[in-house]
Structure 1
Amino acid sequence: MSSTPSPASPARLPALSWLMSLAFAPNRVMAYLSVPVAMMILLPYAIRRQVYESTDGNGMVIFGPYRLGKDMAILVVLLLPALVLYFWVMVTFGPTYASILWAVGMGLLGIGLAAIGPWIHGDAHRV
């Protein structure tokens, strides 16, 4: 008797994004740069609980229908306020403060090189 696997929690999104980036990038540098794109791709599926992670933490599968309208709606609702705030800060205070805001936002969300450190060394199953 085997049990049905449960979907990965949205809290695992940074780890799964790193896993996806590492799988499709030709080298580590490109993998680091592609983490935000992988996160945007996986975000709608993680919210709808359609991403399943392997038990060892080294693989995943997206199992669910592709719905462009719903995916775009989720991304617009989540990213549009952040982009509006970012560009407002850039226009009002300048690009330096906008860059600081971007770095602080990524740090608070746990996205970035510091956040994916444990997954670099193959310790994804312990996180």
Structure 2
Amino acid sequence: MKTAVSLVYDILNQETDIDFYTNSVPNSALTKPTYPLGRIVEIQGNYTNRASDNPWSIQFITQVDVWVDSLDEIDKYYYSLDSVMRANDWECIYSEQTDDPDLEGAKRIIKRYSATINIEF
């Protein structure tokens, strides 16, 4: 069974033109960033239990950050990310657009997605 980060990474790498990293973006990619640039991290995982305490599934929450250099790119990716994730059974539960002063003034899209994944035994 893959982790939530791996699942989301596979989805977004197959269906977007964004260069994604998992958990952290290496300094080499931050020195002279090429946009769009993305990061995927797991925020939370909650097991669902049955009477025997053997979990049936895990509800995952992941955060997807995408840095771009213009409002046009914000418009390009803001809702399309949700469409891609929704088509793969992930629900957007948080969304924000902001400027990131730490990354040469880039614009940042922040999305959190939730999905319940059945545990394979």
Query: Which structure features the higher share of strand residues?
Result: 2
TM-score, with length taken from structure 1: 0.24
